[in-house]
Chains A and B, each alone.
Chain A
Amino acid sequence: MIDPSIAHSINRRRFLQGTGLGFGGMALNNLLGSPRPTPKAKAKSVIWLFMRGGVSHMESFDPKPALNDHAGKSIPDSPYASVLEPEKFENQRVVVVGDANGQQRNKLYPLQVGYKQYGQSGTAVSDWFPHIGQQVDDLAIIRSMWTTDNNHGAQVQFHSGRHMLDPHEPTIGAWINYGLGSLNDDLPQFINIGPRFFDKRDGHYLGPAYDAVNLKIDPKNPLNFAKPEGKISLEEQKATFDLTGRLNRLSAKMYPSDPALEARIKSYELAYRMQSAVPETINFDDESEATKKLYGLDQKETRPFGEQLLAARRFVERGVRFIQIMHGDGAAGAWDQHSQLKKNHAKLAGQVDLPTAGLLQDLKQRGLLEDTIVVFATEFGRTPGSQGTDGRDHHPYGFSVWMAGGGIKGGVVHGSTDEIGFHAVEHPHYVTDIHATLLHQLGLDGRSLEVPGHKRIEQDYGHIISEILA
């Protein structure tokens, strides 16, 4: 097995030697160079919406009427007893010894919400997501996802493709940032909005420069160090930046052709612009009332997520590659409905449904959906059986995500779970299949971008889900 970090360090050096830079890392090259050409690219940017805690697939994008028909029966007593055959659980890997999570599925629990068919495709979507339902002809819904972690470490796994017990790998956002480079130097290229927990890093062996930049939708203080933590006027700050720039240029006379110095001079100019470009991007004053309404900015429940999505669109317009929006607070994530699923899923869906649909419509009407991929994902689904009286436990064996835009087919349902939503049976996809598909649409070769020769290479690197490509 090749150790990926060696491959990185060697290749990085080779690359840098190729450009004549002794050191400095890729970020330096990002500064000095242009975006990397990707002739086969169908998409330029990704908006990654991640519902933390585990969305019930049966009550969102994979309705299972059989649950209503057999409600109250235990799985062994139902016609679906075969889902419990032990060999069907081989992929599961438990982090915590004796972890009871993911085991609670006593009796088949009926659907807690109705569903309807939408659009020309007639795809069924639950009544908790009526607005997304309206957009269903733009979505490719994948109903056959699976993962291996039965607990919330699966959040990391969905982003890195690696189980919590395996060494850390860079996340998909970091790889894309690494592989593509920048379209706009005034803005950070990989943005995270919202809570993270299990792993707060992205770059790992690619280096901290590939970690997501955490951002808040607060024009006054959107990111770390975005405004002086002291009494300095704008004018003073500008003068200071200018003087540093002039002194650095004088220093370049003493240290001619020092690429790091050149890069630093440029990075200061960028920093000065970033200071205003970031707040400017998340300031919605120039958006029409209609647009704000589209994202639900006029309603208390939808406003926070709507603002994040509107900001995401504005970042995409400005060339940012990867905007990762994490929804749902708490260590485990708000969608983790071990109990009171109906009440809380309804509430959470109410927060994201309208803004997400608004985002899709807005991207479309601006022609941005053509080269922007929207991903709507979660770390795992929830058990078809009940936990307690009114909840569902973690369920890694089958769940749903959807993608839209950027050359992804619309109105498509791909893959399926069995009748009760237990196992992914038709076209099962491990989480990195989503990564491979994204990389492919962005013009990158997932297998070459990473390092050949891994264990379980197919699983680790993922297959492109070609059935959903336009």
Chain B
Amino acid sequence: MKPITWLLPALGLHSFIFGAPDYLQDVKPLLASRCFDCHGALKQEAKLRVDTAQSMIDAEMIIPGKPDDSELIYRITTTEPEERMPPEHEGAMFLENEVNIIREWIANGAPVPEGEKPEADPQDHWAYQKIKRPPLPKDVSDQNPVDAFIHSKHREMALKPQPPAEPKILLRRLYLDLSGLPPTTEQLLTNASYEDTVDQLLASPHYGERWGRHWMDVWRYSDWYGLGGMLRHSQKHLWHWRDWIINSLNKDKGYDRMIQEMLAGDELDPQSREAVTGTGYLARSYYVFNRNTWLDATIEHSAKAFLGITMNCAKCHDHKYDPISQVDYYNYRSFFEPHHLRLDALPGETNFDKNGLPRAYDRDLNATTSLFQRGDPALPDDQKNIQPLVPKMFREFAPEVQTVSLPPSSWAPGSRSYFQNDQIKLAESEILNARKELQEYKSGKKAIPPEVKKDNPVNQKAESFTDGFEAERPELWKIVGGGWRYQGGNLVQLEPVMSDQFVRSLKVHPRDFELTMEFRTTGGKKWKSVGVCFDIDEEGKNGHVVYASAVNNAQKVQVAHRTNNRMTYPPQAQKRKQIQLDKNYVFTLQVKKDLLNVSLNHEHLISHRLPQRYKDGRIELLAFDAIAEFNEISVRELPADTKLKPPTSHSPNLVKVDPTELPKARLKATLAKLKAIKARIAADKWMIRHSEIDINNEIISHSIVSQKEYLVAQAEVDLLTAKAGKKAAAEKNLANARKALEEDGGEHTPLRGSQMALVSNVDKEPEYSAIYEKQSTGRRLALAQWITSSENPLAARVAINHIWMRHFGTPLVKSSFDFGRRIPKPEHAELLDWLASELIASDWSMKKIHRIILTSETWKRTASNLHADPKTIKTDKNNQYYWRMNSRRMESQVIRDSLLHIAGKLDLKMGGPSINPSPDSTRRALYFLHSRDQQSKFLATFDDAEILACYERTESIVPQQALALSNAKLPIQISESLGKKGPKEDTAFINELFQKILCRMPTDEELHECLQFLNKMPKRDRLAHALLTHNDFLTIR
């Protein structure tokens, strides 16, 4: 059996085997695939339909017996751009053998079986009909509606259902279904009734974790990822939304409310952090490089997940199968057009890298949307009027879009009182630190430079190393700042900046060492300095620098000293030397105690006595205001017998520095900062009260002046700590700040209580305003309300299908994200509608639906075929009528969590930041980082959720899974742990192990096998491991 034949509409196969082409088998599928979308029930371009042979004859498209005179044949064979069918850009031309089939059929007189019906009206498609609660079937007496509908079908089909599963197996199924963890032996031996256990599990917080992971699949949860430290996809701290999913499920928030909060929580209830957290859903689709790609994902997946509409198919042209036009696509996009993302500060954390709430808000209230011809952003069609409107055929119950007024906490997030308090606290703690530092310098406890030592006692293990920069080596280098790339076998710095960006070794170099480094300078603005630092401490404050500067008219090699972040440039440690661009140079540094020799291209240039050495010195690559390439570096211990050249001059010129100068300036700046923050808070409050800014108002002007004072004080600190090439800039900065302070005017700068996601990858965040629009368009809210309207035929049906599939292993509607016209009415349509109407009627309570399903006899049936009625097996081999339960393999997370849980090692702590997917972690797997770049290898082996779209988990069975279970660290450790515990006597041990792992007692045969195993190999951990790899452990029976 080859699957590809099923992908083919069996083109030509029939005629190949049976001779003459058959209309229904061979001809109609060809026309359906190429022509029906424009000439069928959906549309009638040129008033033509080709969905019946008669309609083609009537329209004189075909003349039976005369293929050469038939317009159809001409149209599908001509290459005339105006006449060819399908038209250019709307479909591929027919292949030669396909044309021949149609031609032959016409030549044969275009025979058609009687009673050919045209395509049904799209409006009549089952999924587009209003949901009406069907009456329960009368031919059965079941109380539970699931049973009533299913049993009625059984009667109709003469199917005999299987009995309920054995109670322990059923209990295991129930626990795994609702908590994702197998029952403990104690839970297995409970006296509680089945119904009570259902209620208890639904009330357990693990329900939210188990079903939260399901909905994370459907809603595409992914932590952020990008390139190195650069965020490209999703948003930081998205775990807040993951926890929102879990908590919402646990409190049985209505499914309608969940969708509303996800799409528009910021508009629905802007004061509620919970509602706003739901919009993390929108944050997930962020893509820094391209807004269209981002919105395309939002459109495609919101329509698929909430509505079962494949809206994405209408991006480039009208939908080929469903009544969704290209205008509908861009109308739908228009709901999302104004929105953007930001991180809002959360109480207790002022650093957005550490925490913050990813959320949506409307950035551009007047955002307009264009239709892109053929989906191409380069071809906007401004003739089409695109508005936030839902697809035409569902418009009657769509609410009006109404503008939402936002509270100050939304539009001025810096005005939140917790944020103001956190800012004050931070400023106060900075003052304390500055005071302490100053005191230490005054008392001499600290001095410049700190820990001065003539020698360099290496505390950490020093190592030699080399790197040809072929690829990233995160174990060797710490890379900070942008512009660094590994390309073409080199490490390259592409951005000539003077800010703090560096590549620092994580390894400590030997005290006496020899370093060679090959590099070239390829450009830069002014200084074009490239070199290497050594003796650098972990924070980069102290050390020594050797560099070659290609600065115009003063090219040189220079040794400099970095002392508590300040640079000194001893004149005797400088050598004029021509440094050319685009030429390779090799630096050789030799250091022995305090003596340094520097050569360039093996020519000795400088001998210099170092004023001091620092302990645990590291290497740093330096590209200061330069574009540079680093080709190779090698650092090794200096051979003991190496003789270095001493310098001619013997007195290093250390610049004398007042040790308290910098701490004093710092203290002054921190005091000014606190004053400014308080003044800005007062001004923010005034601004919110008066909803305007009056710079003549005393409170406002005080804020402006305080801020200016602070900027002066800070500029003074910056000048003191500025590095060489940045001195001039820092001086200029200070002068500007002083000038601004002397002058009147200026602007009030509100506190920044949020961090906006980049609108474009070339933007820099601080350029964005700290305050936002005071209104939101209400577009997303209107969309969400339309989706969750009780009149919407799709939302509840789609939700029930997702829920059903995750209880039974098979969905009621085959394609969980497409309820379009190509998807036939499901076998259990009435059951689907009953549950959908029940979901709506019970305020969209999902727990209510779970309870109905889980307490049905249908759900409780055994998954085994054993003793099943042979006729039933024959009639319904695939269990389409649920006469037994389906066996399913556990999802990846359930396998991994169950392994730990069985051994009592699972940490049941809930929520919080995503954690590294380490094999040693004992937290539940849904808290693992889950992104393109971060995924547990163990989970990945078991069909982990695809981050781009996962409406349904696949269940593959591949040998790598067996290898993972046999060889991964976790199952081995769990086996060892299980092998150590338990009764001394083998039979009792085996019984207990079966209960723990498979939740049942062994059969006599199984017991016999296990005893025999232990006889031959008395290793209980091996026995436990065999059971952990048992199919029935992995399977939910």
Residues 210-267 of A at the B interface (beta carbon under 8 Å): 213, 223-230, 232, 236-237, 239-241, 243-244, 246-248, 250-251, 254-258, 260-261, 263-265, 267
The contact string, 1 if C-beta is below 8 Å from chain B, for chain A 1-37, is 1110111011111110111101111111101010011
Question: A77 an interface residue at 8 Å Cβ cutoff?
Answer: no
- In whole angstroms, what is the CA distance A373 to B313 when docked? 36
Say yes or no: B488 contacts A336, CB within 8 Å: yes
Say yes or no: B962 contacts A224, CB within 8 Å: no
Q: Which of A240, A250, A332 contacts B486 (CB 8 A)?
A: A332
Question: A119 an interface residue at 8 Å Cβ cutoff?
Answer: no
The contact string, 1 if C-beta is below 8 Å from chain A, for chain B 996-1037, is 000000010110011001001101001101110111101101
Residues 735-791 of B at the A interface (beta carbon under 8 Å): 760-762
Say yes or no: A13 contacts B866, CB within 8 Å: no
Pick out which of these stretches binds chain A: B396-404, B598-606, B965-973: B965-973
Residues of B within 8 A of A388 (CB): 522-523, 582
Minimal beta-carbon separation of A459 from chain B (angstroms): 11
Pick out which of these stretches binds chain A: B240-248, B456-464, B948-956: B948-956
Say yes or no: B486 contacts A225, CB within 8 Å: no
Say yes or no: A29 contacts B3, CB within 8 Å: yes
Minimal beta-carbon separation of A403 from chain B (angstroms): 23
Pick out which of these stretches binds chain A: B182-190, B215-223, B808-816: B808-816
Say yes or no: A271 contacts B959, CB within 8 Å: yes
Question: B368 an interface residue at 8 Å Cβ cutoff?
Answer: no
Question: A330 an interface residue at 8 Å Cβ cutoff?
Answer: yes
Say yes or no: A250 contacts B1005, CB within 8 Å: yes
Say yes or no: A227 contacts B290, CB within 8 Å: no
Minimal beta-carbon separation of B14 from chain A (angstroms): 15
Closest to B933 in A: A200
Say yes or no: A448 contacts B4, CB within 8 Å: yes
Minimal beta-carbon separation of A36 from chain B (angstroms): 4
Say yes or no: A226 contacts B963, CB within 8 Å: yes
Q: Which of B290, B317, B629, B877 contacts A165 (CB 8 A)?
A: B290
Residues of B within 8 A of A3 (CB): 310, 312-313, 818
Residues of B within 8 A of A167 (CB): 296, 300, 312, 948
Given contacts A1-B313, A2-B313, A11-B6, contact A246 B1009 (CB under 8 A): yes
Given contacts A2-B320, A260-B957, A449-B4, contact A225 B889 (CB under 8 A): no
The contact string, 1 if C-beta is below 8 Å from chain B, for chain A 30-48, is 0101001110000000000
Given contacts A10-B815, A22-B886, contact A390 B582 (CB under 8 A): yes
Say yes or no: B967 contacts A227, CB within 8 Å: yes
- In whole angstroms, what is the CA distance A243 to B1019 when docked? 13
Minimal beta-carbon separation of B801 from chain A (angstroms): 13
Question: B728 an interface residue at 8 Å Cβ cutoff?
Answer: no
Say yes or no: B967 contacts A334, CB within 8 Å: no
The contact string, 1 if C-beta is below 8 Å from chain B, for chain A 113-133, is 000000000000000000000
The contact string, 1 if C-beta is below 8 Å from chain B, for chain A 315-332, is 000000000000001111
Q: Which of B470, B629, B863, B877 contacts A339 (CB 8 A)?
A: B629
Residues of B within 8 A of A209 (CB): 943, 954, 956, 958
Say yes or no: A224 contacts B960, CB within 8 Å: yes
Question: B92 an interface residue at 8 Å Cβ cutoff?
Answer: yes
Question: B293 an interface residue at 8 Å Cβ cutoff?
Answer: yes
Say yes or no: B7 contacts A449, CB within 8 Å: yes
Say yes or no: B957 contacts A6, CB within 8 Å: no
Given contacts A239-B1013, A339-B522, contact A258 B7 (CB under 8 A): no
Q: Which of B487, B967, B1017 contacts A336 (CB 8 A)?
A: B487
- In whole angstroms, what is the CA distance A229 to B1025 when docked? 13
Question: B316 an interface residue at 8 Å Cβ cutoff?
Answer: yes
Pick out which of these stretches binds chain B: A93-101, A352-360, A363-371, A410-418: A93-101
Question: A453 an interface residue at 8 Å Cβ cutoff?
Answer: yes
Given contacts A165-B293, A209-B943, A225-B941, contact A14 B957 (CB under 8 A): no
- In whole angstroms, what is the CA distance A251 to B1031 when docked? 8
- In whole angstroms, what is the CA distance A41 to B1037 when docked? 42
Residues of B within 8 A of A27 (CB): 956-958
Question: B77 an interface residue at 8 Å Cβ cutoff?
Answer: no
Residues of B within 8 A of A248 (CB): 1030-1032
- In whole angstroms, what is the CA distance A265 to B1029 when docked? 11
Given contacts A229-B969, A458-B92, contact A267 B959 (CB under 8 A): yes
Residues of A within 8 A of B865 (CB): 255-258
Residues of A within 8 A of B964 (CB): 224-225
Say yes or no: B972 contacts A330, CB within 8 Å: no
Say yes or no: A243 contacts B1026, CB within 8 Å: yes
Say yes or no: A256 contacts B864, CB within 8 Å: yes
- In whole angstroms, what is the CA distance A27 to B943 when docked? 11
Question: A338 an interface residue at 8 Å Cβ cutoff?
Answer: yes
Say yes or no: B488 contacts A337, CB within 8 Å: yes
Question: A455 an interface residue at 8 Å Cβ cutoff?
Answer: yes
Question: A53 an interface residue at 8 Å Cβ cutoff?
Answer: yes
- In whole angstroms, what is the CA distance A341 to B374 when docked? 40
Residues of A within 8 A of B374 (CB): 455
Say yes or no: B8 contacts A448, CB within 8 Å: yes
Most-contacted residue by chain A among B582, B760, B944, B1031 (CB, 10 A): B1031
Say yes or no: A208 contacts B948, CB within 8 Å: no
The contact string, 1 if C-beta is below 8 Å from chain B, for chain A 264-287, is 110110111011000000000000
Say yes or no: A274 contacts B959, CB within 8 Å: yes
Question: B490 an interface residue at 8 Å Cβ cutoff?
Answer: yes
Given contacts A1-B313, A208-B954, A268-B1029, contact A14 B6 (CB under 8 A): yes
Question: A297 an interface residue at 8 Å Cβ cutoff?
Answer: no
Residues of B within 8 A of A84 (CB): none
Minimal beta-carbon separation of A264 from chain B (angstroms): 5
- In whole angstroms, what is the CA distance A396 to B495 when docked? 25
Say yes or no: B957 contacts A24, CB within 8 Å: yes
Most-contacted residue by chain B among A11, A37, A97, A389 (CB, 10 A): A97
Say yes or no: A22 contacts B879, CB within 8 Å: yes
Residues 856-884 of B at the A interface (beta carbon under 8 Å): 863-866, 877-879
Question: A70 an interface residue at 8 Å Cβ cutoff?
Answer: no
- In whole angstroms, what is the CA distance A447 to B864 when docked? 41
Question: A340 an interface residue at 8 Å Cβ cutoff?
Answer: yes
Say yes or no: A267 contacts B1026, CB within 8 Å: no
Given contacts A25-B954, A244-B1030, A390-B582, contact A11 B3 (CB under 8 A): yes
Residues of A within 8 A of B315 (CB): 1
Say yes or no: A344 contacts B489, CB within 8 Å: yes
Q: Which of A14, A23, A258 contacts B810 (CB 8 A)?
A: A23
Residues 434-460 of A at the B interface (beta carbon under 8 Å): 444-445, 447-449, 451-453, 455-458
Question: A428 an interface residue at 8 Å Cβ cutoff?
Answer: no
Say yes or no: B289 contacts A188, CB within 8 Å: no
Question: A335 an interface residue at 8 Å Cβ cutoff?
Answer: yes
Say yes or no: A236 contacts B1030, CB within 8 Å: no
- In whole angstroms, what is the CA distance A18 to B1 when docked? 9
Say yes or no: B488 contacts A340, CB within 8 Å: yes
- In whole angstroms, what is the CA distance A237 to B1026 when docked? 9
Say yes or no: A250 contacts B1003, CB within 8 Å: yes
Residues 261-288 of B at the A interface (beta carbon under 8 Å): none
Say yes or no: B944 contacts A453, CB within 8 Å: no
Closest to A332 in B: B487
Say yes or no: A95 contacts B289, CB within 8 Å: yes
- B residues whose Cβ falls under 8 Å from a Cβ of A: 1-4, 6-8, 11, 33-34, 89, 91-92, 227, 289-290, 292-293, 296, 300, 310, 312-317, 319-321, 374-375, 470-472, 485-490, 492, 520, 522-523, 581-582, 629, 760-762, 809-810, 814-815, 817-818, 822, 863-866, 877-879, 886-889, 919, 932-933, 937, 940-941, 943-944, 946, 948-949, 952, 954-964, 966-969, 972-973, 976, 1003, 1005-1006, 1009-1010, 1013, 1016-1017, 1019, 1022-1023, 1025-1027, 1029-1032, 1034-1035, 1037
9 closest Cβ contacts across the A-B interface? A271-B962, A329-B471, A209-B956, A230-B972, A36-B2, A271-B959, A207-B954, A27-B956, A330-B486
Residue pairs across A and B with Cβ atoms less than 8 A apart, 11 shown, are A24-B957, A209-B954, A229-B972, A240-B966, A260-B1031, A261-B1031, A272-B962, A330-B472, A332-B487, A348-B489, A453-B34
